[in-house]
Amino acid sequence: MSPQVRALLIGLIGPLVQAVGVAWDLLEHGVFNPGGLEQITLQHIVSGPAHLMMGVGMVLSLICIPIAVQVAAAQPEELELPLPSRPTEDEPLFEGRSEPAEAIEQWQP
């Protein structure tokens, strides 16, 4: 996957979550419970699932858009993660394999 495609997906995840929240809210207030508009309370505004989803999408956008810019500017080899070792026929099935903790250290600048 090219850096640009990754950046696009990263940048879109916040707006997508927001869009689902907006659609949910419109369905709830416009279709499933249109008469409930007169009974909206502060509690519903703050804790309504659709509203929270919109808020989450907004915060995701704030965090992910700068990441998307960095990813778009990165080289493809910078984005590849080190693959952990995979089991071979000689390794016992339930002994497990250790993903090297050093793999995380490789990501440190």
What residues make contact with other proteins under the rule CB under 8 A? Answer: 1, 6, 9-10, 13-14, 17, 28, 33, 36, 39-44, 46-49, 52-53, 55-56, 59-60, 63-64, 67, 70-71, 74, 78-81, 83-87, 93, 96-102, 104-109
Smallest distance from other proteins to CB 31, Å: 14
Smallest distance from other proteins to CB 50, Å: 8
Smallest distance from other proteins to CB 9, Å: 6
Smallest distance from other proteins to CB 97, Å: 6
Amino acid at the residue 103: A
Identify which of residues 89 and 105 has a Cβ nearer to other proteins in the complex.
105
Q: Are 15 and 40 in contact (CB under 8 A)?
A: no
Q: How many residues does the chain have?
A: 109
Q: Are 7 and 69 in contact (CB under 8 A)?
A: yes
Identify which of residues 23 and 97 has a Cβ nearer to other proteins in the complex.
97
Dihedral (C-alpha) 25, 26, 28, 33: value to the nearest 10 degrees?
140
DSSP character at residue 94: T
